[in-house]
Amino acid sequence: MRRVFVAGIGATKIGEHWERSIRDLMVESSLNAIKDAGIDKKEVEAIFVGNMSSGYLQGQEHLGALLSTWLGIPGVAACKVEAACASGGAAFHNAFLAVKSGVYDCVLAVGVEKMTDAVTSDLTSALIMADDQEYVAFAGFSFVALNALVYRAYMKKYGAKQEDIALFAVHDHKYAVNNPLAQYRRAITLDTVLSSPLVADPLRLFECAPTGDGSAAILLCSEEKMKELGLEAEVEVAASSVATDILSLHDRDDLTTLVSTRRAAEKAYKMAGISAKDVDIVEVHDAFTILGVIHLEDLGFAKKGEGWKLVKDGEIEKDGKVPTNLMGGLKARGHPVGATGIYQIYDVALQLFGKAGPNQVDDASIGLAQNVGGVGGTVSISILKRVR
Amino acid sequence: MRRVFVAGIGATKIGEHWERSIRDLMVESSLNAIKDAGIDKKEVEAIFVGNMSSGYLQGQEHLGALLSTWLGIPGVAACKVEAACASGGAAFHNAFLAVKSGVYDCVLAVGVEKMTDAVTSDLTSALIMADDQEYVAFAGFSFVALNALVYRAYMKKYGAKQEDIALFAVHDHKYAVNNPLAQYRRAITLDTVLSSPLVADPLRLFECAPTGDGSAAILLCSEEKMKELGLEAEVEVAASSVATDILSLHDRDDLTTLVSTRRAAEKAYKMAGISAKDVDIVEVHDAFTILGVIHLEDLGFAKKGEGWKLVKDGEIEKDGKVPTNLMGGLKARGHPVGATGIYQIYDVALQLFGKAGPNQVDDASIGLAQNVGGVGGTVSISILKRVR
C-alpha cells in the first residue's frame, strides 16, 4: 500500500475568538498548514473537515465547500466528517484513506469548532448529541453527567482516589505554559482543582476541558507527491484507525474501560507494526481527568485500574516512561470538539519534527494520538513516525 | 488500483414515516443491503453515513456509532459525512476510497434524512445552511429563492419557456408510478404543475422536490472480498468523484451552469474511461425542474441552453437517447436530502442488475448518478458498470 506523509501542519490559538467566525478559523489553520509545507495551495486536491456542531451552533453546514471557496481553491473535492468529539480524528482517517487509495495525492485534514458564542444550555444540548438522544438525553443526562458516572464507577471498582486522578489536570496546565496556542497558559495546583465548583458529582470544574474556539490542519501527501513537490519526508503516518463501541453506557458491560480504544489501538499497532512500549509520545483525549487515566490503560501503557499511578508517579511527564499531553491536553490546550483530533496530531507532529520548544522530548520518533467521540462511541487513533 | 464492486443494495420507501425515527430508517436500509448481498453483517468493516441535518432537526449527531450500535456490529469504523444535499454522494465517495485504499474490504455507504417531523420554518433554516449563512441567509434568501434566481437567469439567457422546463416534473411522476419506494406514485399533467402554487417566482410547487423521510444503503466490496464471500461480481464502481465550486451564486460568473458538475463529470469520465455518449442510464439531481435541465447540459448530454429540448423531445424517456430519472427522480421518488445520493446509486444499480421492473432499460450497462449539494457548491458523480 502507498505510504502517506505529513507535509505541513497549521493551527490557530485556541480561545474565545469573538472577532472571528468558524470560516475564518478554518481558513487560517489551512493556510498555515499549506504555508508550513511551502507549497502552492493549488496542489491541494481534497479537503476533509472535522466538525461536530456547526449546523446547530452556527447555522452553517456544507463546511467543505465553504472552506474550499474561502481558501481560494473551489473545485477540489471536499466534505465535512462528523463523529462527535472524534470528528477531527475521523476526518484525518478519511484523509489518510484518500491518499492511501491512490485517487488523491495531496489532501488537507482540517478540524474546526466554535463554541464560545453559544450560551451554556445550547452547548449542553449540542454535546449530548454525541450520545443517544432518545435514550440518554430524554432521561435527563448531560454529557458531563455521563462522565461523572464513569468516574464514580472507576473509583469504586479500583479504589482509586480523586486527588490522584485529578492530578491529570495539574499536569496539563504545567505543560500548556509553554504552548503559545494553548487556551490556558497558567499552572494550577491540585488544591485549585479540588476546590473548584462541583459540576456533576464527583467531577470538579477544573477536571473538565473548557469550551473554546479553534482550528487545526494537517496536510498529507503521498510519497510520489512529496518527491514531486521537492519536500523532504520527515514524518510518516504509520497508522490510522477508527473503531466504535456500543454508543451508550447503559448497554455496556463495564463503565471503566473504552472497548473502542482497545479495538482502535489493536488495529493501529498492527498497521504500524509496533506495540505500546514503542511509543515515545502520547496524546490522550482527556476531556475529563478520569478519561485521561482510563485511556492510558486502554492504550496499553498501564494495567487496568492503575493508570492513575502513571500520573502520580510522574511517568507521563516529559522525562517519564510515557510522556503524555505535553502541549496541555484537552484541559489546558483546550478542546474545540471537532478540532481536537487534529490538534492532537499537530502536537504529536510538532514533537516528531523537533519543534515542540521547551516541551520537546529528546529523540521522539513514534507518537500516538487518541481522539474520542461521545463516551467512547467512536475512537480514532493515529500513529506518526519520524522517518528521517 | 483495486476494483470496487456493489455487493448489495437496500432502501426504505420514501415518505412520511411518523412511526419511525432516523435510527429505524438507517437500520432498515442497511439490513436490506446486507440481506441483498446475502452475507453475515459481521463482514462489514466500516460505515459512512450521509446525512445533512440530524443535529439540527433531530438533536442527534454521531450517527456512525449510533448505526453501528443498532445494527448490532459495534466495533466497526464509522462516521457521518456531510456535504449538504450531496451528503449521500459524498458518503459513497468516502466508502469507495475506503475500499480502494486497501484498508477495508467490505464497507457500507448509507444515506438518511428525516424531514417531515419538522415545521416548515425549521426546514427552511436547515436547508439554507447548504449556502453561506452569513452572506446569503442573512440577506433573506431561502434555498428555494436561490433556485428561482437560477430559473429566471436560464430562461432569460436561453429563451427557454417554463412550460418546457416544467415537463421534467411530469416525466418524474410518470415513472414513479412503477417504483414501490417512491413517495408520490401518481402521474400528473403539465397543467397540474403550472397551476400549482407559486413558491418563489417563477418556481411552482410541483416543480420542487418534496420533503420526505428515507434511507438507502449500498454495500461495497473489493474484488478479493467478493470472491471470499462467494459473491458474483455483477456491478462495478467504475468511477466516483467529488468536486466543489464557489459556494454562493453571487460570486459566480454564470448562474446557468454548475461548474462543479462539469469538474466532477470530467474526473469521473476519465476515471471510468468513458464519455457521456457511453452512458445508458442517468440519475440527475432535479431538486427543481430547472436544475434537472441544467444538469443534462453540464453532464454533456445536451448543448448549453438545450437541455430542455431533450425533455420536450422525449429523449430522457425509457426508450430515448438519455434515459433519465426512471424511478421518479427527486420530484416523485422523493428527496430526503442526505439520503438522495444513495437512492440515486440504488436506482442506477437496480437497472444494471436488471431489477427495475416495468421501468427497466434493455441492456443498460453503464449508469451515472449525479448528486448536488447547495446550488452546486458540491457535486458528486458515481458511474456504475455492469461487468457480467
| Three-state SS letters, chain A | CCCEEEEEEEECCCECCCCCCHHHHHHHHHHHHHHHHCCCHHHCCEEEEECCCHHHHHCCCCHHHHHHHHHCCECEEEEEEEECECHHHHHHHHHHHHHHCCCCCEEEEEEEECCCCCCHHHHHHHHHCCCCHHHHHCCCCCHHHHHHHHHHHHHHHHCCCHHHHCHHHHHHHHHHCCCCCCCCCCCCCHHHHHCCCEEECCEEHHHECCCCEEEEEEEEEEHHHHHHCCCCCCEEEEEEEEEECCCCHHHCCCCCCCHHHHHHHHHHHHHHCCCHHHCCEEECCCCEHHHHHHHHHHCCCCCCCCHHHHHHCCCCCCCCCCCECCCCHHHHHCCCHHHHHHHHHHHHHHHHCCCCHHHCCCCCCEEEEEEEECCCCEEEEEEEEECC
Please check whether residue B34 is in contact with residue A52, taking contact to mean a CB–CB distance below 8 angstroms: no
Radius of gyration of chain A (CA): 19
* Residue A161 in domain: no
Q: How is residue A37 written as a grid cell?
A: 509545507
Residue B142: Cβ within 10 Å count:
18
Please identify which of the residues B85, B106, B208, B221 carries the catalytic annotation.
B85
* Residue A28 in domain: yes
Task: Tell me the nearest-neighbour CA distance from B325 into chain A, angstroms.
Answer: 25
Model pLDDT for residues B44-96, shown as the tens digit of each residue: 999 999 999 999 999 999 999 999 999 999 999 999 999 999 999 999 999 99
Sign of CA dihedral B36, B41, B44, B50: positive
Q: How many angstroms separate the CA atoms of A319 and A317, rounded?
A: 5
Mean pLDDT, residues B146-150 = 98
How many CA atoms are closer than 13 Å to the CA of B347, on its beta-carbon side?
Answer: 36
Best residue in B244, B249, B257, B260 to probe A by mutation, most A CBs within 10 Å? B244
Under an 8 A CB cutoff, do B244 and A83 touch?
Answer: no
DSSP secondary structure of B140-199: T--HHHHHHHHHHHHHHHH---HHHHTHHHHHHHHHHTT-TT-S------HHHHHTSPEE
* Residue B295 in domain: no
Bond preceding residue A358 cis, omega within 30 of 0: no
Under an 8 A CB cutoff, do A64 and B134 touch?
Answer: no
* Residue A97 in domain: yes
CB-nearest to B55 from A55, A65, A81 is A55
B134 interaction partners in chain A (CB closer than 8 Å): 21, 23, 60
Task: Tell me the nearest-neighbour CA distance from A26 into chain B, angstroms.
Answer: 15
* Residue B156 in domain: no
CB-nearest to B378 from A62, A81, A94 is A62
CB-nearest to A69 from B87, B102, B246 is B246
Task: Tell me the nearest-neighbour CA distance from A144 into chain B, angstroms.
Answer: 17
Please identify which of the residues B17, B93, B295, B335 carries the catalytic annotation.
B335
Under an 8 A CB cutoff, do B244 and A377 touch?
Answer: no
CB-nearest to B60 from A75, A100, A133 is A133
Model pLDDT for residues B322-360, shown as the tens digit of each residue: 999 999 999 999 999 999 999 999 999 999 999 999 999
- Give the structural domain span for A106: 4-118+211-228
Best residue in A66, A70, A71, A220 to probe B by mutation, most B CBs within 10 Å? A66
Phi and psi at residue B380, in whole multiples of 5°?
-115, 135
Mean pLDDT, residues B213-224 = 98
Report, as residue numbers or ranges, the catalytic residues of A: 85, 335
B93 interaction partners in chain A (CB closer than 8 Å): 77, 79
Q: How many angstroms separate the CA atoms of B63 and B73, rounded?
A: 14
Closest Cα to residue A296, out of A287, A288, A306?
A306
Number of domains, chain B: 1
- Whole-number Cα distances in Å, B258 to A85, A259, B85, B310, B381: 34, 46, 15, 18, 13
Residue A365: Cβ within 10 Å count:
17
Reported as type and span, the H/E element at residue B214 is strand B214-222
Please check whether residue A173 is in contact with residue A332, taking contact to mean a CB–CB distance below 8 angstroms: yes
* Residue A134 in domain: no
CB-nearest to A82 from B61, B125, B126 is B61
Can you name the residues that pair with B5 across neighbouring β-strands? B221, B236
* Residue A378 in domain: no
pLDDT at B388 over 90: no
B83 interaction partners in chain A (CB closer than 8 Å): 62, 64-65, 78-80
Position B1 scores a pLDDT of 78
Which CATH number do you get for residue A33?
3.40.47.10
* Secondary structure letter of residue B363 according to DSSP: T
**Sole residue written with cell 457511453:** B278
Q: How many angstroms separate the CA atoms of A338 and A53, rounded?
A: 8
What distance lies between CA A117 and its chain's CA centroid? 21
A65 interaction partners in chain B (CB closer than 8 Å): 83-84, 244-245, 247, 373-374, 377-378
Report chain B's mean pLDDT, rounded to a whole number: 98
Residue B140: Cβ within 10 Å count:
7
How do the pLDDT tens digits run along chain A, 388 residues long?
Answer: 799 999 999 999 999 999 999 999 999 999 999 999 999 999 999 999 999 999 999 999 999 999 999 999 999 999 999 999 999 999 999 999 999 999 999 999 999 999 999 999 999 999 999 999 999 999 999 999 999 999 999 999 999 999 999 999 999 999 999 999 999 999 999 999 999 999 999 999 999 999 999 999 999 999 999 999 999 999 999 999 999 999 999 999 999 999 999 999 999 999 999 999 999 999 999 999 999 999 999 999 999 999 999 999 999 999 999 999 999 999 999 999 999 999 999 999 999 999 999 999 999 999 999 999 999 999 999 999 999 7
Under an 8 A CB cutoff, do A241 and B46 touch?
Answer: no
Q: How many angstroms separate the CA atoms of A312 and B209, rounded?
A: 61
Under an 8 A CB cutoff, do A61 and B125 touch?
Answer: no
Q: How many angstroms separate the CA atoms of B62 and B49, rounded?
A: 10
Residue B335: active-site member = yes
Under an 8 A CB cutoff, do B244 and A74 touch?
Answer: yes
* Residue B30 in domain: yes
**Sole residue written with cell 430559473:** B151
Task: Tell me the nearest-neighbour CA distance from A325 into chain B, angstroms.
Answer: 25
Position A388 scores a pLDDT of 79
Position A1 scores a pLDDT of 78
Task: Tell me the nearest-neighbour CA distance from B79 into chain A, angstroms.
Answer: 5
